[in-house]
Structure 1
Amino acid sequence: MLKVENLAVNYGYIIALSNINLEINKGEIVTLIGSNGAGKTTTLMAISGLVEKRPGSKITFKGQDITKMAPNKIVHMGMSHVPEGRKIFPALSVYENLRAGALGNKKMTKARFEELVEEQYTLFPRLKERYKQAGGSLSGGEQQMLAIARGLMMDPDIVMLDEPSLGLAPIVIEDIFELIVKIRDMGKTILLIEQNASVALSIADRGYVLETGNITLQGTGQELLVNPEVKKAYLGA
Structure 2
Amino acid sequence: MLKLDSLKVNYGYISALRNVSIEVQAGEIVTLIGGNGAGKTTTLMAISNLVNKASGTVTFKGTDISRLAPNKIVRMGISHVPEGRKIFPALSVYENLISGTMGNPSLGKEKIESLLELSFTLFPRLKERLKQDGGSLSGGEQQMLAIARGLMMDPELIMLDEPSLGLAPILVEEIFEMIVEIRRTGKTILLIEQNAAMALSIADRGYVLETGNVVLQGRGAELLEDSAVKKAYLGY
In structure 2, what residue type is equivalent to 1:204? A
Equivalent residue, structure 2, for 1:206? 205
In structure 1, what residue type is equivalent to 2:183? R
Please state how far the C-alpha of 1:106 moved relative to its aligned partner. 1.3
Equivalent residue, structure 2, for 1:140? 139
Which secondary structure state, in structure 2, belongs to the residue aligned with residue 84 of structure 1? coil
Equivalent residue, structure 2, for 1:14? 14
In structure 2, what residue type is equivalent to 1:108? L
1:51 is the counterpart of 2:51: yes
Equivalent residue, structure 2, for 1:149? 148
1:83 is the counterpart of 2:82: yes
2:171, 2:191 → 1: CA distance?
17
In structure 2, what residue type is equivalent to 1:31? T
Between the aligned residues of both structures, percent identity stands at: 72
Which secondary structure state, in structure 2, belongs to the residue aligned with residue 53 of structure 1? coil
In structure 2, what residue type is equivalent to 1:47? I
In structure 1, what residue type is equivalent to 2:136? S
1:24 is the counterpart of 2:24: yes
Deviation digits for residues 153-205 of structure 1 (CA, Å, limit 9, x no counterpart): 01000000000000000000000000000000100000000000000000000
Equivalent residue, structure 1, for 2:126? 127
Equivalent residue, structure 2, for 1:4? 4
Give the TM-score normalised by structure 2. Answer: 0.99
Please state how far the C-alpha of 1:104 moved relative to its aligned partner. 2.1
1:36, 1:196 → 2: CA distance?
12
Give the TM-score normalised by structure 1. Answer: 0.99
Which secondary structure state, in structure 2, belongs to the residue aligned with residue 103 of structure 1? helix
Deviation digits for residues 67-109 of structure 1 (CA, Å, limit 9, x no counterpart): 1111000000000000000000000000000010001211011
Deviation digits for residues 36-65 of structure 1 (CA, Å, limit 9, x no counterpart): 11110000000011000013x111001100
Equivalent residue, structure 2, for 1:69? 68
Structure 2, unaligned runs of 5 or more: none
In structure 2, what residue type is equivalent to 1:39? G
Please state how far the C-alpha of 1:111 moved relative to its aligned partner. 1.1
In structure 1, what residue type is equivalent to 2:170? I
Equivalent residue, structure 1, for 2:112? 113
Which secondary structure state, in structure 2, belongs to the residue aligned with residue 164 of structure 1? coil
1:62, 1:153 → 2: CA distance?
21
Equivalent residue, structure 2, for 1:176? 175
Q: Which structure 2 residues correspond to residues 222-237 of structure 1 after superposition, within 5 A? A: 222-237=221-236
Equivalent residue, structure 2, for 1:33? 33
2:168, 2:121 → 1: CA distance?
23
1:108, 1:192 → 2: CA distance?
25
Between the two proteins, the alignment pairs up a number of residues equal to 236
Equivalent residue, structure 2, for 1:162? 161
1:44, 1:128 → 2: CA distance?
29
1:123, 1:169 → 2: CA distance?
19
Runs of 4+ more than 3 Å apart: none
Which secondary structure state, in structure 1, belongs to the residue aligned with residue 153 of structure 2? coil
1:146, 1:202 → 2: CA distance?
24
Equivalent residue, structure 1, for 2:92? 93
In structure 2, what residue type is equivalent to 1:17? L
Which secondary structure state, in structure 1, belongs to the residue aligned with residue 4 of structure 2? strand
